[in-house]
C-alpha cells in the first residue's frame, strides 16, 4: 500500500516474542481489551456495533494476531469510551487497580448499609480472627430476608463461610497427596450429578 505524500507513515507495530503487539506507545494486550469489555459489560457484538470495526478484526485484536492501524485503535478506544493510551496499559496493573477501586466502593457501601454485620464482627472477634478485608466485604454483601442480616443471620453466614474455607483448605491439601485423582473423580461425579439435577 502506498502512503500518500502528504501523510507520515503510522508508527511501526510488530509482533513481539510474547505474542502481544508492541508499538512506540507500549504493548496492546488482547487481555486488556477484554478487561475493558468486561468493565463496561459489553459483548463482542456490542463492541463491533459501537466501534464500527469488523468482527473478524476485533477477534484478531483479542487473540493478539493482528497489527491494528492507528485508525482502528482510535475506533476501538472511542467505541469503548476510553483513551487510546488505556488500550496499552498493562492489563494486570490496570485490572488490579480497577478491581480494587470497585471492591473498595462496594465494601464501603455494604458496610454502610449493613451495620448489624459490622457490629457482629466487633462483638465476636473469635469467629473472625483469621478473616481478611475480602472476607469481611463478602459477609457485608449478604442480605437476609427483607434486608440486612440480623446478628443471628450474620453469625450463621460467617459459620458457613468458615466451613467452606476449611473444606477448600482440606481439598487443596488432598490435591497434593496420592488421593488427588480420587478427589478429582469424586468432584467430577458430583458436579455432573448436580448439573443433571438442576
Q: Tell me, what CATH number does 39's domain have?
A: 1.10.260.40
What pLDDT is attached to residue 167? Answer: 92
Pair (158, 77) in one structural domain: no
- Give the chain's mean pLDDT: 76
Total Cβ atoms within 10 A of residue 163: 10
Higher pLDDT, 179 or 3: 179
CA distances from 52 to 49, 73, 80, 183 (A): 5, 12, 11, 48
Q: How does pLDDT run across 2-28, given as a tens digit for each residue?
A: 333 333 333 333 333 333 444 444 567
Most confident of 100-104, 109-113, 125-129, 139-143: 125-129
Whether 169 is in a domain gets the answer yes
Alpha helices, H only, the chain: 30-39, 44-51, 55-62, 70-80, 91-113, 115-123, 133-141, 151-174, 180-197
Given 22, 54, 89, which residue is the final one in a domain? 89
Whether 3 is in a domain gets the answer no
The CA angle 4-10-15, to the nearest 5 degrees, is 135
Pair (182, 100) in one structural domain: yes
Given 66, 89, 112, which residue is the final one in a domain? 89
Pair (63, 110) in one structural domain: no
Mean pLDDT of 141-156: 75
In the chain, how many domains are there?
2
Containing structural domain, residue 35: 14-89
What pLDDT is attached to residue 128? Answer: 86
Pair (189, 100) in one structural domain: yes
Pair (110, 52) in one structural domain: no
Whether 7 is in a domain gets the answer no
Task: Determine contact, residues 81/33, Cβ cutoff 8 Å.
Answer: no
Pair (162, 119) in one structural domain: yes
Q: Write out the three cell numbers for 137.
A: 466485604
Alpha-carbon dihedral sign for residues 54, 59, 61, 66: negative
Q: Worst-scoring range by mean pLDDT, 36-40, 79-83, 110-114?
A: 110-114
Torsion of CA 156, 139, 141, 106, to 10 degrees: 170
Pair (84, 104) in one structural domain: no
Whether 176 is in a domain gets the answer yes
Q: Write out the three cell numbers for 164.
A: 467452606
Whether 190 is in a domain gets the answer yes
Whether 9 is in a domain gets the answer no
Model confidence at 113: pLDDT above 80: no
Amino acid at each position: 500500500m502506498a502512503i500518500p505524500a502528504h501523510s507520515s507513515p503510522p508508527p511501526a507495530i510488530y509482533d513481539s516474542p510474547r505474542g502481544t503487539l508492541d508499538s512506540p506507545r507500549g504493548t496492546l494486550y488482547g487481555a486488556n481489551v477484554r478487561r475493558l469489555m468486561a468493565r463496561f459489560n459489553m459483548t463482542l457484538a456490542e463492541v463491533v456495533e459501537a466501534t464500527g470495526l469488523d468482527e473478524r478484526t476485533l477477534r484478531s485484536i483479542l487473540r493478539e494476531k493482528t497489527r491494528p492501524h492507528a485508525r482502528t485503535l482510535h475506533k476501538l478506544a472511542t467505541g469503548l469510551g476510553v483513551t487510546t493510551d488505556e488500550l496499552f496499559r498493562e492489563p494486570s496493573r490496570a485490572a488490579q487497580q480497577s478491581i480494587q477501586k470497585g471492591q473498595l466502593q462496594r465494601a464501603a457501601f455494604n458496610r454502610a448499609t449493613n451495620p448489624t454485620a459490622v457490629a457482629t464482627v466487633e462483638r465476636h472477634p473469635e469467629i473472625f480472627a483469621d478473616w481478611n478485608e475480602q472476607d469481611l466485604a463478602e459477609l457485608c454483601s449478604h442480605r437476609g430476608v427483607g434486608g440486612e442480616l440480623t446478628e443471628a443471620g450474620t453469625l450463621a453466614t460467617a459459620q458457613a463461610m468458615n466451613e467452606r474455607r476449611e473444606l477448600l483448605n482440606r481439598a487443596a491439601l488432598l490435591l497434593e497427596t496420592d488421593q488427588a485423582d480420587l478427589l478429582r473423580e469424586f468432584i467430577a461425579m458430583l458436579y455432573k450429578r448436580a448439573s443433571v439435577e438442576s
